[in-house]
Homo-oligomer: A and B are copies of this chain.
Amino acid sequence: MSNESAAPRKPFRRLLLTGAAGNLGKQLRGALAQWADTVRITDVAPLDAVAAHEEASVVDLADRAAVDALLEGVDAVVHLGGISVDAPFDDLIEANIRGTYNLYAAAQRHGVKRVVFASSNHAIGFHPVTEVLDADSPQRPDSLYGVTKCFGEALSRYYYDRFGIETVCLRIGSSFEEPKNPRMLVTFLSYRDFIELVRCSLFTNRVGHAIVYGVSDNPARWWDNTKVGFLGFRPQDSSAQFADRFPVSAPTAAYDDPAQRFQGGAFVVGEPMERSR
């Protein structure tokens, strides 16, 4: 990779993107190209169509030495890696707990000062759907997966207070091409808004340790980002255009159905999984 002499420098010299082979990782690769001369991309899964400005490597986040190497020469990190659904706890430990620790430990060693961390709405999924949360609402994980996201939020807080590594924790709602069910009319985050949220998280001069909900400007709201207005995130999209996909119906669900009562939806009725060996 080289920066041609005529090309103006981009704001970042090198950004690291973990989880680059995932759904959201793919969305970001194009945007990151605009913001950094070099984008280091990594995943446990193979990465395709590596561009000239990209440095690709397949890395297991639980591999401390490999993660340490990833952080070499990096300005900032977008950490989407790890397991993003519920899973056996032994797997979650490796990918989301040891992996996130390895990332921050390496960031500290290499003097990296900014991380954008993909937390999740499942860190707060056991709040009822009749409550509006903000950055100060207490964690209410709805699954072991959610618990590991709470761990990531606590760990990054420590690295901020102790070493000044700033993190924006994105409690991402449902970021897909379009909402897939009525719940997602509330939790939908368009790809465009997701990219804008990462942009704000990378470029705002100071972010401290921020908790922001990743959600578009949908008609119904469970999450209020007023307290992180300093990020300048203003979503442009709304789930309203997809509302007619889901036939309007009277609220008929059984009163005690937890999947209807809590923000985490179906996650709240999941069971801890065992690893099949």
Write the residues of chain A forming the contact surface with B, with a CB cutoff of 8 angstroms.
11-13, 75-76, 89, 93, 97-98, 101, 105, 108, 113-114, 126, 128-132, 136, 138-144, 146-147, 150-151, 154-155, 157-158, 161-162, 164, 166, 182, 186, 202-208, 210, 218-222, 224, 226-232, 234, 248-251, 253, 255, 260-261, 268, 272
A253 touches B140 (CB 8 A): no
Partner of A221, one of B12, B108, B161, B229: B229
A227 to chain B, nearest CB (A): 5
Partner of A230, one of B12, B132, B255, B260: B132
A128 touches B208 (CB 8 A): yes
- 10 A–B contacts, CB within 8 A, in A order: A97-B151, A114-B251, A141-B155, A147-B155, A150-B154, A164-B255, A166-B251, A206-B251, A206-B260, A226-B226
Give every chain B residue within 8 A of A131 (Cβ-Cβ): 230
A158 touches B142 (CB 8 A): yes
Give every chain B residue within 8 A of A162 (Cβ-Cβ): 126, 142, 268
Of chain B, the residue at the smallest CB distance from A164 is: B255
In this complex, the member of A11, A229, A232 whose beta carbon has the largest number of chain B beta carbons within 10 angstroms is A229
B138 touches A75 (CB 8 A): no
Complex Cα distance, B13 from A232, in Å, reads 42
A250 touches B151 (CB 8 A): no
> Assuming the A-B contacts A12-B250, A206-B260, are A158 and B154 also in contact, with contact meaning beta carbons closer than 8 angstroms in the complex?
no
Give every chain B residue within 8 A of A108 (Cβ-Cβ): 272
Give every chain B residue within 8 A of A113 (Cβ-Cβ): 251, 255
A203 touches B147 (CB 8 A): no
B132 touches A229 (CB 8 A): yes
Give every chain B residue within 8 A of A155 (Cβ-Cβ): 141, 147
Complex Cα distance, B255 from A207, in Å, reads 11
A105 touches B272 (CB 8 A): yes
Complex Cα distance, B76 from A226, in Å, reads 34
Complex Cα distance, B250 from A75, in Å, reads 8
B144 touches A158 (CB 8 A): yes
B205 touches A129 (CB 8 A): yes
Give every chain B residue within 8 A of A203 (Cβ-Cβ): 248-251
In this complex, the member of A164, A219, A230, A255 whose beta carbon has the largest number of chain B beta carbons within 10 angstroms is A230
Give every chain B residue within 8 A of A261 (Cβ-Cβ): 206
Complex Cα distance, B139 from A156, in Å, reads 11
B136 touches A138 (CB 8 A): yes
Give every chain B residue within 8 A of A101 (Cβ-Cβ): 89, 144
Partner of A142, one of B128, B161, B166: B161
Give every chain B residue within 8 A of A130 (Cβ-Cβ): 206-208, 210, 230
